[in-house]
Every structure is written in C-alpha cells, then in structure tokens.
Chain A
Amino acid sequence: MKPILTVDNLQTHFFTDSGIVRSVDGVSFQVNEGETVGIVGESGSGKSVTALSIMRLLPSRVGKIVEGSVKFQDIEMSKLKEKEVRKIRGNDIAMIFQEPMTSLNPSYTIGNQIGEAVRLHLKLNRKQAEKRSVELLQQVGIPRAQEIVHEYPHRLSGGMRQRVMIAMALACNPKLLIADEPTTALDVTIQAQILDLIQQLKKTSNTSIIIITHDLGVVSEICERVIVMYAGRIVEEGDVRSIFESPSHPYTSGLIESLPSLDESVEWLETIQGNVPIPSQMPTGCKFAPRCKFVMERCKQEEPELIDIGMGRKSRCFLEGKRKNV
C-alpha cells in the first residue's frame, strides 16, 4: 500500500505569554491510500493540533511548526507558501470540523458555500457549481436537495448541517479527508446516521480518512488503524481490533477499562488516577508516569521510545521493551 500522508517528527509549539506549550511533541505516523485511521486522546493530548498542523491552519501568531515534516504524496506541506497551500486545502485534503453550528457561514446559502470550493478548484461556473452542489447534497442523503441549496444554514438541524459539512469536504473528491470530532456534537441516533454515511463513502471512494475523536466507540466502528495520543505524543499505534482486545500501553488499557459498558455491569469502574499534566509541569520521564499503575523508578527518569512490538503495532512503554527481551 502506498502512503498518502507521512508525518515525521512533527513538533508544534504554541508561544503564549505564560511560556511555550509543546502541544505536539515529536509525532510520526503514516496514512495509506484508502485507509481510515483514528487518532484518539483526551482533551489536551494534541490530536486536534496535529490535524491543524497538517492542514496548515494553526493560528499564525502563536502556533508554529518548529520541526518535522508533513508529506502529502510527494509534497512537503510544512514548507509551502500560503498561496500554494490553498491549492491543496479543500481540494486534495479536506476537513470536517466538530461544530456544524459554528463552522458554516450564516449569511451565505448552502449552495453558495459548497459551490465555493468547486468554483475555485475545479473552475466550474455558477450553473455547474450549483448542479454539483445538488449532486453532493443528494450523495450525503439530504432530502429536497434542489430546495436546500438555496436555504441558509439556520434552517437546518445539527445532523443536516454536519451532512452539509461533509458535502463541502467531498466537493473536490479529496484524496485525504480529516474529520475532527465529526459526531461529538450530535445525538446518538444522528451520530449513527453520520457514521453510516462515512461507512458508505469508504465503500464508494478510495479516499483516505483521518478521524480525530475522544470516543473509542466511534473509532472501533469505522477505523482500521488507531493512534493513541497522550500529552502531545503517540503512546500506542496499531490495528483497531488487536489494540482494543489487548492494549499494550497502560494508558490505552486504562481508557478502555474506564468506559462504562452496555454489555456488562460492574459496581466500580476502573479509573486512571489524577489528571492530565499541565504544560508547565510536564514530568521529565514518561509523560504518563504520574498516573500509571505500573510505574517503575526508570519511568520517572527517562522517557521510553515508541518501539515496534510486532504485528504492525507500536507502544511507548518500558514494560513492552522488557516483555520483548524475555
């Protein structure tokens, strides 16, 4: 399989008044053609900043990619000029945002907003753009597409707006689609509809998808591979089934066990003690050491590398290294 996106040692820092925040701290991964990859982590883990770095959408004054490379096909994204990025963004790489309520412009019609991308990138005229918008709306399952293109966003419900966002992202047949918490703001039954839609898209096109979410259930439903992030770093990576069945990193297993389940009942839930460390008090060794059940003396001194543990899986934990040596 050919990689479509290669992220190598990406470091994105935010320069704030209260110091430097290392939101993404040496992240490397690949996304292959036609593959769906999930990036999971809790708030502050750096998963959204990773996406924004790939898209070059960081707030320019404070956020900077200080090191590393983001290669899309053969193009080095981090070195491109803003003008050149614009040719790729929304065309070859598209993004779906979390808040369908705020990420649509209230003063333009739906057709106008979907049409903008195709008129710009595919050089279609007004008429053709409208035709394409209607097609796209039908593709994402919006009824009365002919009328909806002339409507404004406030007339639509949350689920419908998210469909419109997806239609916009698909407008130029992107090779890579990045979805940042695409179902988080939606109700369960609407979430099921949107997940269904993404499944269908996967079947009908060869688009690679990155799903960024905190919801392990969503990842399990639609991703093939998953990357678990904690405090700006990848702590575990591998295919979804084997990670959920036998997680390697204590953080991943903690996350899975602390989820209440619909299938079994327990009196007490497993917990991960403590909180995510704040940037100014980042531990020196393993970033997860202060919350880890299996913490050793070594974990507090040095940070483990993300090592290959076989079967295409990687883990950042000394315990794995031990297991391997035995």
Chain B
Amino acid sequence: MSKPLIEVKDLKIHFPMKNNILFNKEKRFVKAVDGISFVIHENETLGLVGESGCGKSTTGKSLLRLIEPTAGEVIFEGKDITKISTREMRDVYRNMQLIFQDPYASLNPRKTVGKLIEEPLLINSDLSPKDRLDRVYELLDVVGLNAYHANRYPHEFSGGQRQRVGIARALALNPKLIIADEAVSALDVSIQSQILNLLRKLQQSFGLTYLFISHDLSVVKHISDRIAVMYLGEIVELGTKIGLYDKPLHPYTQALLSAAPSIKSTNRRERIVLEGDMPSPVSPPSGCKFHTRCFAKMPECELVRPQMRDMGDGHYVACHLYK
C-alpha cells in the first residue's frame, strides 16, 4: 500500500458553551468531534459519511485548522500540524485545499473568476503576472471552462460552473490533499455526475488525494476507495468500499444503507427504520452513543464505550456485537 499522506490521531474538537452567569455551573461543551483516528494514503479517496451534526464537516475544517482542534494530532507529511505556527501553516495550505459545499456563497461576487482563481497564486507563489495569467487559463481548461470565462463574474455562472471555479481555485497551487466538503450536494443530478467525473479525472491526472465528505451514501460509494461512517462525533465503522457496502457490520451503517431510497425495485433491501433523532452532542448518551436508537442493543452498550476493533481486510468497527 502507498504511504500515508495524512494521519489523524484521537482528534477531539469541543466547543465551549456560554456559561450561565447566575448559577456558576460547570462549563459545558459541545463535543462535535470526540476522539477519531484515521489515515489517508497517497492518491486515495477516503469518504466520510454521516448525518447532519455528526461532526464530519468540523473534522474536515479542523484538518486545515480553520477550526482549532481541542486535542489530538494531525500528522501531514510527517509533521504534526496542530503544533506549528500560522506562518508555517501557510506552507501546509499550499498542499492542502478545500472545496466548499455552496458554490453560490463561497465565491466573492465582486471579483472576476480570473481574479478569484489567481488569488491563491498571488499569496502563495512567486510567479510573474504573465505566468499567473497563463496558469489561470490552464486551470480553467483543466476544469472544463474556457479562457473567456476569466473576465466574467460569479453571478453569470450556473451552479455546476461555479463549482468548477471552486475546484480550479483549489487546484491552483498543485496541492496534494483536497478536502471536498459536500462538494456536489447542492447540484442537480445531471450536473452532479459531471462534477464527480471531473474529480475522478483530476485525481488520475494529478495524483490527488481526497477526503470526500458527504451525507449521500451512493455518491460516497462511487468516489471513495475507503469509507468512514461517523455518528455523533465518533467513527463507528471504517472499511474498504466493497467491505463496507457489501457487508456493513455496525447497526447504524446497516440502517443508513437500508434507508437510502433506490430506484431499482428488484434489489430493494429490507428497510430498517431507526426510531427517534440523533441525541444532542452536549449530553451524548453514555457507553455506545448509538444505543438510544439501536435495534440490537445489549445491556453493556449503555455502560461501556465500544473500542474500534479490527475485523480484517482493513475493516474496523466500534460495536459490542463483534468480539
């Protein structure tokens, strides 16, 4: 297997809540991410799935330190980037870029697309103005737009084209790792497949590594090599694409997969409908955080937090069912 590009060890992100001034209660925290570990190898795509509030986006942002981790290590190319200065972080940004969900909100409406794509080059490279312009044209071409698009403003573009601009910006500095946070969620089906194909093509031609964050199980399955499933700030299952989708082990993964509507009637799965909603991350359930909604709950699930267990073939699960 190729060598690891980024390694996350026991990452925790806790947000403090406002203190109650009248009654000096103990300080409470929203435990958005509560001790997760994973590795992404070079030229691989790791999918991160989960429902809203499970901490998947917070994880993505904290790898870039857009949200400072509370504890844990993020080792990128052999260096723990949680401990380095902001100045040193700049070098890291050159190799690690983010694609945002909303192509409407993430582009400055007052700059032309050419200027938007040039921006990372201005800050982080010493190219001459002419070279920069050449690079902008090259990037537009790479993402399937034309040179004449460079002088247009974001509002003149459709959603899919704006997402292409977002991708061109992320690619500007030849990064190694791209974190795509719900990059295709806001797009229509026919445009979504165009962007997914583009991401795959770019990965093959530039040897990119992706962390692909999404709530859509079929999209994640399509693009990823390995997949991690998150629930309430923890990874409950991690496995290869084939292992995880053909033989989901964790009851939550099983429920998620069965709940996804399919257009084929022939191979419809027996649907597992979970009861209730995801509990609040302020006061998560004791033991296994999923026990309040689990259909296979055992007495010990309420008491003991299950540890990640290696089930072979790169398949890991945190559940008391497997011992």
Contact = CB atoms under 8 A, between A and B. Distances in A.
Interface in B40-87: 51-52
Q: Which of A218, A244, A255, A263 has the most CB atoms of chain B within a 10 A radius of its CB?
A: A263
A196 B270 CA distance: 13
Contact of B158 (A159, A241, A275): A275
A188 B193 contact: no
Interface in A183-206: 187-193, 195-196
B222 A187 contact: no
Nearest to B159: A43
A270 interface: yes
Contact of A262 (B160, B196, B221): B221
Interface stretch (A5-13, A60-68, A209-217): A209-217
Contact of B193 (A157, A192, A271, A275): A271
Contact of B215 (A187, A196, A221, A268): A187
Contacts of B132: none
B27 interface: no
Interface in B143-196: 158-161, 188-194, 196
B217 interface: yes
B188 A262 contact: no
Nearest to A241: B265
A261 B219 CA distance: 8
B222 A260 contact: yes
B320 interface: no
A265 B240 CA distance: 13
B292 to A, nearest CB: 13
Given A217-B260, A275-B160, A188 B217 contact: yes
Contact of B52 (A42, A187, A256, A258): A187
A258 B261 CA distance: 16
Contacts of B277: 157, 159-160, 190
A192 B252 CA distance: 14
B133 interface: no
A217 B51 contact: no
A264 B264 CA distance: 11
B200 A268 contact: yes
Contacts of A190: 51, 277
A270 B261 contact: no
| Range, interface on chain B | 35 or more
A291 B197 CA distance: 17
Contact of A269 (B51, B196, B274): B196
Interface residues of A, number: 45
A309 to B, nearest CB: 20
B200 A267 contact: yes
B90 interface: no
B196 A221 contact: no
Contacts of A215: 261
Given A187-B215, A258-B190, A275-B161, A192 B221 contact: no
B202 to A, nearest CB: 13
Nearest to B258: A192
Contacts of B194: 271-273
Contacts of B278: 187
A283 interface: no
Contacts of B52: 187
A195 B261 contact: yes
B255 A189 contact: yes
Interface string A244-265: 1000000000111011111101
Interface of B: 51-52, 158-161, 188-194, 196-197, 200, 215, 217-219, 221-223, 241, 245, 255-265, 267, 271, 273-274, 277-278
Given A189-B255, A269-B193, A270-B193, 18 more contacts: A157-B277, A187-B51, A188-B217, A188-B259, A189-B259, A189-B274, A190-B277, A191-B261, A192-B273, A214-B188, A220-B261, A220-B262, A244-B263, A258-B193, A262-B260, A263-B262, A265-B241, A269-B197
10 contacts: A157-B277, A192-B258, A241-B265, A244-B264, A254-B190, A260-B196, A262-B217, A262-B260, A275-B191, A276-B158
Across chains A and B, which 9 residue pairs bring their CB atoms closest together, nearest first? A217-B261, A260-B222, A258-B193, A192-B259, A187-B51, A272-B190, A42-B188, A269-B193, A220-B263
